[in-house]
């Protein structure tokens, strides 16, 4: 009886650990997808945030090689 209690406790601990591990891996994968696609998301939403009468000032740095 005592052995089965210990085995059940170990199984529960491993099971919780596996669920946590899977949740963490899933969250990391979602973050990686967000990082890979952030430019597309910004481009899709850009027009919603720019008013027609706004003036956009953009700083561009160029390097001229001679």
pLDDT per residue over 6-65, tens digit each?
666 666 777 888 899 999 999 999 999 999 988 888 888 877 877 777 777 777 777 776
Q: Is the pTM of this model over 0.85?
A: no
| Cβ neighbours around 16 below 10 Å, total | 10
**How far is CA 32 from its chain centroid?**
5
54: nearest Cα among 62, 63, 46? 46
């Amino acid at each position: 009886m005592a052995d089965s209690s210990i085995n059940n406790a170990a199984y529960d601990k491993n099971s919780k650990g596996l669920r946590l591990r899977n949740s963490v891996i899933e969250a990391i994968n979602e973050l990686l997808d967000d990082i890979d696609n952030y430019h597309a998301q910004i481009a899709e939403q850009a027009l919603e945030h720019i008013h027609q009468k706004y003036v956009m000032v953009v700083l561009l740095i160029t390097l001229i090689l001679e």
